[in-house]
Structure 1
């Protein structure tokens, strides 16, 4: 938020899953999905209007639960009216995972904010151990 250039009023933001820089851009592991969820919370707490594009128009009641989220594009609205998207990449580093995030204007594709941080190896390992997330780090584990 501190690096955001003057863009006028931010009407709406969606957050995409973060992907590994040296991986496939059409696949995200658990770490990338978790970072996107955290980013949604942080942006909301900062006062931005955050759209959750994975919410369906109905609640699916099953034996496994009452579900409203989906990753099936056929169940989601194709017309999410977002002004900006948060996209991010992950890079393996000797001291952990380097996270780079950017807010992009969907119309002009210009970057209006960017930030980076390093998730220390110890924190990533703790997250891996707590959830058995072997798929968090495609290619190699920490």
Structure 2
């Protein structure tokens, strides 16, 4: 604001000078040059003040892409299961896909499979032996790559039964997917640890719950 007043005052003074007939041409050119310099200084000052005002303004939290991932929730599940194990140390853990909580308890989707994959990693990080029952026990060299996994039960080798099984259900609530996880004794189905987390919809991929 002070700059605007100064600019207006300078214009008035320069205008008064131009009204006098005794001003030399060289003086007029000098006045025009001074006006251009003053105008440039004023614009620069306005830009600086605008930048400072924007920096000081509280615009709140804006996030176009949430940084929390499925792995973070899998880590939370693994930690809570480990903390609530009832005096047991599982020798080996197999992780099954999480299923939709419906009549069949046989339907899964991308989220259910991704939770299982992440939990296998998280439990192994906590010091538990994770058993991958989808491994063929051999490497198949193909034109598309060197493969060692399969979902064909007839092709899988007979592996040692795990001591415990980690799995759970998914319930679709208004604000997110409620994941109920449990750690079971494989032979007795006794629940030795359980936990529940809710994963908000806004951090899930569009196809994560496509088959719910």
TM-score (norm 1): 0.85
More strand by share: 1
- What's the counterpart of residue 82 of structure 1? 162
- 2-structure distance, mates of 1:34, 1:13: 17
SS for the counterpart of 1:44 is helix
Matched, 1:117 2:117: no
Number of residues paired by the alignment? 131
More helix by share: 2
Question: Which among 83, 101, 107 is matched to residue 21 of structure 1?
Answer: 101
Query: Once superposed, what is the RMSD of the aligned Cα atoms?
Result: 1.5
1:35-50 paired onto structure 2 within 5 Å: 35-50=115-130
Report the Cα offset of residue 23 of structure 1. Answer: 5.8
- What's the counterpart of residue 99 of structure 1? 179
- 2-structure distance, mates of 1:26, 1:62: 31
Comparing both chains, which one has the higher relative contact order based on Cα–Cα distances under 8 Å and sequence gaps of 6 or more? 1
Runs of 4+ deviating beyond 4 Å: none
List alignment gaps of at least 5 residues for structure 2.
Answer: 1-81
Report the Cα offset of residue 73 of structure 1. Answer: 0.3
CA contact (8 A) 1:84 1:103 kept: yes
The higher radius of gyration belongs to 2
1:95/1:88 Cα in 2 relative to 1: closer, same or farther (>3 Å)?
A: same
Matched, 1:72 2:145: no
Matched, 1:3 2:84: yes
Question: Which among 20, 34, 45 is matched to residue 114 of structure 2?
Answer: 34
List alignment gaps of at least 5 residues for structure 1.
Answer: none
